[in-house]
Every structure is written in structure tokens, then in C-alpha cells.
Amino acid sequence: MVQNTDSISTTLTTTTATVPPIAVGSFRKLLPKLPKPAKTLSLLDVGCGQGNYLPFFAPDSVGLELSDTELHKCREKNLTVYKWSFTDTFPSELAGRQFDAAMLSHFLEHVFSPHLVLLEIRKYLKSEGLLIIHCPIVNPLTGISDRLARRYGWQKGFHGALFGDHINFFTATTLRYTCEMAGFKTLYLGSPYLPNFLAKLLLPFWPSAWLICQKIDNYQYNHESCKSLDEQGNIFWRI
């Protein structure tokens, strides 16, 4: 996606029975907010970790993961997962495939170009396919928590949005805008731990957000969204 290198992909399967995930936190509470039952949806889980979300979806769901340790956990659960580096093109095994939904859980804050990642994922979603994102968000308390943690030595600093290996930082609003500008329509933004009547009030202060979007078919950028230069160095609008 960011750089065009040869990808390494390995199908991971075993004969052991699929092990149900022990706990996936707020995701269990998020399931009723999906427009269709998860078991009817094929999922592409990008950066799937130990594959905890995959058993909730249709049997033909697929995960992508970088870590060999996490891949081994997926193998033990008899999940279909391909090894994939975040900077490579998607594995060749996905060629021609499209999914009902894609999952990016604690992933978008780690990649060089979130917009390009989202555009790439669009190619693997069916018409009106779903995009499910879980992401730490920056809020007014983030800086205070980080300063206190560093001062008093709590876990070597605040391990939320400002975790040391994050290179992108979102508020709930900018996370929504980022996905909408890549051709998705927002269906849900919030935390299933928050009651509906408090969601809008408390979400700006919450440490993370779930976002459910739907692919807009034939999405086009606004005319003034994309600037480019002609051969003389003059700016023109590129559609």
C-alpha cells in the first residue's frame, strides 16, 4: 500500500477446533449495532492479532497479521490468516475476493498513510460493505494523563492514544471525517459502554471509539479535494 514490495503470505490452518475468544471487551456490546448479524457477514480483519474477532463472523472470514507469535495463536484456533506486512500490498490469496465487512481494530493509528489504507480496503469490500474501526482517540484528558503518568512513573507514560508506537492521532470527529473522505458513510460512532443519552456528551472525553461505516459505491471526491501541479508548476484541481 505505502510501498510496493513482494508480500509474504502463508495460509494458517490446523485440525484443532476453533477456540471461541475469551473476551473482546466492548466488541461484544457492539455486535447488536451492526445492520446484519455478524455470523452472516464475511470479514477481512486487517491486523487481526490472535484472531479474536474472526469466530464471530462467517466461516469464510480471513485475517491479516504481521506477528509470528499472533499467527501461531490463530493457527491453534484453526483460523484462516495470512502473514502480511503493513507496508506490503495485500496477499495474492485475496485477489478477486470481496468481503461483507472489514475490521481495523487498533490498527489505523500505526500505518504511514491511513487514507491510502482505507482506499485499498474499499477494493475488497462488496457493494455497501461495512467498515468497522476501533481506535484510541485524543481527548482533553489525554495530555493531563500522560503528564501525570510520566511524572509518577505509571507504566512509563500514558498507554492510550499517546502510546509510543502510534504515528497517527485521532479525535472521534477526525476519525469519522477520515473515513468519510475515503468514501464511507457513518452508521455509528461511539462506545457501546456509553448509554445512548450520554454518548454525545461523554464521547469527546472517552479513551477510544468504535466506528461503523458503509461503503459508498462509485464514490467521487469533491472537485476541490485533490490538488496537483501541471508541467509548469501551476496548481490545478484533479478529479
Question: What's the confidence (pLDDT) of residue 182?
Answer: 93
Question: What's the confidence (pLDDT) of residue 22?
Answer: 39
What are the phi and psi torsion angles at 152 (to 5°)?
A: -105, 5
Contact yes or no for 212/188 (Cβ under 8 A): yes
Contact yes or no for 80/13 (Cβ under 8 A): yes
The dihedral through the CA atoms of 162, 167, 172, 174 has a sign that is positive
Question: What's the confidence (pLDDT) of residue 66?
Answer: 87
CATH for 26-237 is 3.40.50.150
Q: What is the mean pLDDT of each run of 10 residues along the chain (239 residues)?
A: 38 33 70 95 94 95 92 92 84 93 89 90 96 85 58 55 68 92 94 80 80 94 78 75
Ordered by start, the domain boundaries in the chain are 26-237
Question: What's the confidence (pLDDT) of residue 19?
Answer: 35
pLDDT digit string, tens, across residues 64-112: 998 899 999 998 999 999 998 877 788 889 999 999 999 998 888 878 8
Separation between Cα atoms, residue 145 and residue 162, nearest integer Å: 10
